Amino acid sequence: MNELIIHLDGKGDKPLYEQIYEYIRGEIEHARIEPGEKLPSSRALSAYLQVSRSTVDMAYGQLVAEGYVDAVACKGYYVCSLPLPRNLRTGLEHTDWEAAGAGQVKAGALEGTEKFRYDFTPNGIDLNRFPIFAWRKITKNTLSQEKEELLRLGDARGERYLRETLCEYLGRARGIRCVPENILLGAGNDYLLILLCQLMGIGRRIGMEIYTYRQAYLTFQSLGLDVCAVPMDGDGMRVEELEKSGADMAYVMPSHQFPTGIVMPVKRRMELLDWAYAREGRYIIEDDYDSEFRYGGRPIPALQGYDRHGKVIYMGTLSKSVAPAIRISYMVLPEELMEIYRRKAGYLTSTVSRIDQMIVHEFFRDGYYERHLSRMRAAYKKKRDVLMAALAGCFQEKCAVFGEEAGVHLLAGFSLGRTEEELVGRAKEAGIRLYGLSGYRIAPGGGTGFVPWLQEGRNGESGRPQEAAIFLMGYAHMEEEEIRAAVQELRELFR
């Protein structure tokens, strides 16, 4: 294949790279470009379409990130084989398909109050860049409304105007297919998970990736649900292992898995949907963790947008994108579960302040939210680049980085012949807090097969593989000079 006839609109709202990406994605999904077929080189396609090569590179990069295309070194880009779900293999119109388009994490016990000079917490955000003046203005305007409007009890599901605002945003930014009636608001993901478990009943078995969001794991356990750890690989949860586990629910974070940073490719997503469709009563809980912060191409579309049988329960939060104190999370229920909610929990009152809902609605409606996200993406990308450069400069080939394309933390694996526990202890004595990957593991065994370099380590002088100590290194709340200084100290400590 040397050419692709793509009609580009240079005056439209969509960037050119996004138009190229959407065209190729549609051709792949409808088998008009066959699996294994080679795409034109970025140089050839850019010349043919008369656009810059970087524009084509961005489109190809997004296709690779989502698993539609494989980039083969020195050869080019090849179309992946996509096992589409049963309901998408026949009878789906092209336009319908195209329309498809978490809270704080604690490792083990609650984090202590001990002070550190440098803290690589993956839970932090940059509060210095919070748009406090805009928030103050909106709050003042909200509080000037009539007392009755402010203080009376509102809708148990959340105020209609905020659900409408979220519905529009989620459809446009995340590819979510929903209506305001199926959105529930709650004070944090924990509350919504508790509510969901009440709807589903306690006789459920939930599969979670072996490294996962421990707060959700502890919530499920505390409610008496049967939780099983499912092995994972470089594409996320292994569906064949999920099938073997006997689970009837799966908890996943496809767009940016915590803590590993894995982006689940479309092939694995389709396999996961096939698993849910194969038996009555199966559901997928999609925690769209950190989906707003992606540093190459546009954000990865949500799994829920691909669902056609109401099997995906979508959850999101404003804790990372706005601030942890803004205790507003949201859950999109399939219609079948919404009926159960009306019957079992419709009597419950809202757990979110009506005043806070009004403020957040204005924050979205007046464009402050998306401008804030744009600024934070730029700021976090710069901090991430600083951290990666510092690690490369100080540790070179003894440090491997993984999961750096999104979110506000990355994984760093150190092959220094020392254990994770030993390095955490050395750093702590010097006033630097590190977070070992082992703290996010919910079952023994299984290795770190999702990233082979970290699993095997590098050979030491004896020729035997060294043990890799793996850490989550958050950078959001640290300033750039603090990041550089902290990594420099770690180099001296880890000698």
Question: Is omega for the bond preceding 259 within 30 degrees of 0, making it cis?
Answer: yes
| Angle in degrees, 0-180, between the axes of helices 16-29 and 53-65, rounded to the nearest 10 | 40
Average pLDDT over residues 6-24: 86
Question: Does residue 407 lie within any of the structural domains?
Answer: yes
Question: Which residue, of 327, 344, 368, is where some domain finishes?
Answer: 368
Task: Name the domain boundary from 328, 353, 368.
Answer: 368
Among 303, 337, 368, give the residue marking a domain's end.
368
Note whether 208 and 307 are same-domain residues: yes
Q: Note the pLDDT tens digit of each residue in 319-342.
A: 888 888 888 999 999 999 999 999
Residue 241, domain member (yes or no) = yes
Identify the pLDDT of residue 103. 35
pLDDT digits (tens, 9 = 90+) for 457-484: 444 443 333 467 899 999 999 999 999 9
Residue 136 CB neighbours (<10 A)? 10
Q: In this predicted structure, what is the pLDDT of residue 468?
A: 76
Q: Is 40 a domain residue?
A: yes
pLDDT recorded at residue 245? 95
Least confident of 3-12, 110-119, 198-207: 110-119
What is the tens place of the pLDDT at every residue in 121-168? 998 889 888 888 889 899 998 888 766 677 778 889 999 999 999 999
Give CA–CA dist 408/253, Å, rounded.
15
CATH classification of the domain holding 63: 1.10.10.10
Question: Does residue 112 lie within any of the structural domains?
Answer: no
**Residue 486 CB-density burial (10 A; 0-12 exposed, 13-18 middle, 19+ buried):** buried
pLDDT score of 450 more than 70: no
Whether residues 260 and 360 share a domain: the answer is yes
Between 459 and 276, name the one with better pLDDT.
276
Q: Which of 1-5, 73-77, 398-402 has the lowest mean pLDDT?
A: 1-5
Tokens of residue 337, six digits: 């579960």
CB atoms within 10 A of CB 18: 17
Burial class (CB in 10 A: 0-12, 13-18, 19+), 147: exposed
In the chain, % of residues over pLDDT 70:
87
Are both 77 and 173 inside the same structural domain? Answer: no
Mean pLDDT of the region 79-99? 49
The domain of 396 spans 118-126+371-493
Residues 237, 156, single domain; the answer is yes
More confident residue, 102 or 63: 63
Is 233's pLDDT higher than 70?
Answer: yes
**Does 147 lie in the same domain as 50?**
no
In a domain, 92, yes or no: no
CA 440/CA 97 separation, integer angstroms: 36
Instruction: Give the pLDDT band of residue 491 (cuts 50, 70, 90).
Output: very high
The stretch 102-122 carries a mean pLDDT of 60
- Let me know whether 218 and 360 are in one domain: yes
pLDDT at position 83 is: 62
- Asked whether residue 101 is assigned to any structural domain, the reply reads no
Looking at residue 192, which CATH number applies to its domain? 3.40.640.10
What is the predicted pLDDT for the residue at 287?
95
Residues 143 and 257 in one domain: yes
Count the domains in the chain: 3
335, 393: one domain: no
Question: Residue 146 burial (CB < 10 Å; 0-12/13-18/19+)?
Answer: exposed
Q: Tokens 């709340």 identify what position?
A: 477
Q: Give yes or no: residues 168 and 291 share one domain.
A: yes
Lowest mean pLDDT among 14-28, 397-411, 458-472: 458-472
pLDDT at 10 over 90: no
| Percent above pLDDT 90 for the chain | 49
Answer with the residue of higher pLDDT: 255 or 456.
255
Average pLDDT over the chain, rounded to an integer: 85
Does a structural domain hold residue 89? no
**Domain assignment of residue 110, yes or no:** no
Q: Provide the pLDDT confidence category of residue 448 given band limits of 50, 70 and 90.
A: low
pLDDT for residue 451? 58
304 and 380 in a single domain? The answer is no
| pLDDT tops 90 at residue 9 | no
pLDDT of residue 473: 96
Question: What span, in angstroms and rounded, lies between the C-alpha atoms of 303 and 295?
Answer: 19
47-56, 443-452, 483-492: range with lowest mean pLDDT: 443-452
DSSP string for 244-291: HHT-SEEEE-TTS-TTT-PPPPHHHHHHHHHHHHTSTT-EEEEE-TTT
Average pLDDT of the residues in 415-437: 92
CATH number for the domain including 467? 3.90.1150.10
Whether residue 93 is predicted with pLDDT greater than 50 in this model: the reply is no
- pLDDT recorded at residue 109: 33
Please tell me whether residues 375 and 359 are part of one structural domain: no
Q: Which of 80-89, 135-144, 333-342, 344-353 is the least confident region? A: 80-89
| Phi, psi at 317, each rounded to 5° | -150, 160
User: Does residue 238 share a domain with residue 296?
Assistant: yes
pLDDT confidence tier of residue 1, bands split at 50, 70 and 90? low
399 pLDDT above the threshold of 80: yes
| Amino acid 244: pLDDT | 96
Using the predicted structure, report yes or no on whether residue 454 has a pLDDT greater than 60. Answer: no
Q: What is the mean pLDDT of residues 93-100?
A: 34
